[in-house]
């Protein structure tokens, strides 16, 4: 995996693989930090890898591992003195995705979500010591990707479902039978609350998240669908913070397709 981690002082490019975690300066020129995965932590004959990357709390970069541990790295304003500040031990299954709050969190909603192979979601509040605010139990399906916006957790699952949860309470707020196959990617445009989902069924959907100001209920509506013929979507990302355009990649595809309004 590869993710830009945007912190107030710097932007780092973080890569995860089966060997470990690498962090580069944003122009790719210098490797700032290398963290090798500890094989001993994993049961023998099991896959070892890092997966799930997010910048949190204006100071940390969190990376998940196949053992379920989440490594929290403390990033200095500049230089290479990156240290492991904490190891979060709530998940028992391989981490699939990690997301930081992209908008404004309401009180008590936390600013980080971690997801795993079993489908369990954990909501955290970042800081010198991370606090677990909520643990949302799995319902029997892998949560493959997750996003957090204005206190709403958007989770995509291996059975094609998208679920929205209240980050502060863990309550289920919406259930969408969104795709006919495994959801690979979710992205969120923070200025409008648009949600993008891409799956193996060849479809990319654009949704709109909002909160009803009177009832405080979470709402989701379907905006648009694109079918990328004969392609299993592997990646989908908005190209701008309003969500007016998005890019899509797929298996066996050497091109990136870009769609815009």
Partner 1 sequence: ATRPLPLLFLNLGGEMLYILDQRLRAQSIPGEKARKDEWTDVDRKRVMNDIITTMFNKKFMEELFKPQELYSKKALRTVYDRLAHASIMRLNQASMDKLYDLMTMAFKYQVLLCPRPKDILLVTFNHLDAIKDFVRDSPGILNQVDETFRQLIEMYGCLSAGEFQLIRQTLLIFFQDMHIRVSIFLKDKVQNSNGRFVLPISGPVPWGTEVPGLIRMFNHNGDEVKRTQFTTDGNYIIPQREGSFELYGDRVLKLGTNMYSVSRPVETHMSGSSKNLAPHAKENIAPNPHAKEELNFLARLLGGLEIKKPGGSETGFQLNLFTTDEEEEQAALTRPEELSYKVVNIEATQEPGRQAELARILEELEVAEPRPASSDKGEDLLALMDGL
* Interface residue list for partner 1 (CB under 8 A): 44-47, 93-94, 96, 116-118, 140-142, 144, 158-161, 166, 169, 171-182, 201-203, 215-222, 225, 227, 229-232, 251-252, 254
Least distance to partner 1 from the beta carbon of 233, Å? Answer: 10
102 alpha carbon, distance to own chain's centre: 11
Which CB sits closer to partner 1, 57 or 198? Answer: 198
Nearer to partner 1, 31 or 225 (CB): 225
Q: Which is nearer to partner 1, 59 or 173 (CB)?
A: 173
Whether 25 contacts 33, CB under 8 Å: no
Closest distance between partner 1 and the C-beta of residue 60, in Å? 25
- Of 24, 105, 114, nearest to 63 by C-alpha is 114
Q: How far is the CB of 141 from partner 1 (least distance, A)?
A: 7
48-68: string of b/e by CB count within 10 Å (b at 16+)? bbbbbbbbbbebbbbbbbbbb
Least Å distance between CB 10 and partner 1? 32
CA distances from 150 to 45, 46, 128, 218 (A): 41, 37, 23, 11
Q: How many residues does the chain have?
A: 261
What's the closest the beta carbon of residue 162 comes to partner 1, in angstroms?
Answer: 9
Task: Please identify, using beta-carbon distances, which residue of 125 and 159 lies nearer to partner 1.
Answer: 159
Cβ proximity to partner 1: between 158 and 193 the closer is 158
Cα separation of 73 and 85, whole Å? 6
């Amino acid at each position: 995996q590869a993710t830009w981690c945007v912190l107030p002082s710097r932007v780092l490019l973080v890569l995860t693989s089966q060997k470990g975690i690498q962090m580069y300066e944003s122009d790719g020129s210098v490797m700032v930090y290398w963290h090798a995965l500890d094989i001993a932590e994993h049961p023998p004959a099991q896959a070892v890898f890092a997966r799930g990357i997010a910048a949190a709390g204006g100071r940390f970069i969190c990376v998940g591992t196949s053992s379920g541990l989440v490594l929290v790295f403390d990033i200095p304003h500049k230089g290479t003195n990156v240290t492991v500040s904490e190891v979060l031990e709530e998940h028992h299954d391989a981490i699939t995705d990690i997301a930081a709050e992209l908008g404004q969190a309401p009180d008590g909603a936390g600013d980080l979500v971690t997801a795993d192979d079993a489908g369990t979601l954990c909501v955290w509040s970042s800081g010198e010591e991370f606090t677990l605010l909520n643990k949302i139990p799995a319902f029997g399906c892998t949560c493959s990707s997750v996003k957090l916006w204005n206190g709403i957790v958007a989770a995509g699952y291996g059975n094609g479902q998208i679920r929205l949860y209240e980050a502060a309470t863990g309550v289920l707020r919406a259930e969408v039978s969104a795709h006919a196959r495994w959801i690979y990617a979710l992205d969120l445009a923070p200025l409008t609350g648009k949600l993008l989902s891409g799956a193996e069924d060849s479809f990319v959907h654009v949704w709109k998240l909002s909160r009803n100001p009177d009832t405080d209920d979470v709402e989701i509506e379907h905006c648009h669908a694109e079918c990328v013929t004969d392609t299993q979507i592997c990646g989908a990302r908005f190209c701008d913070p309003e969500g007016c355009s998005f890019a899509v990649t797929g298996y066996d595809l050497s091109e990136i397709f870009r769609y815009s309004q």
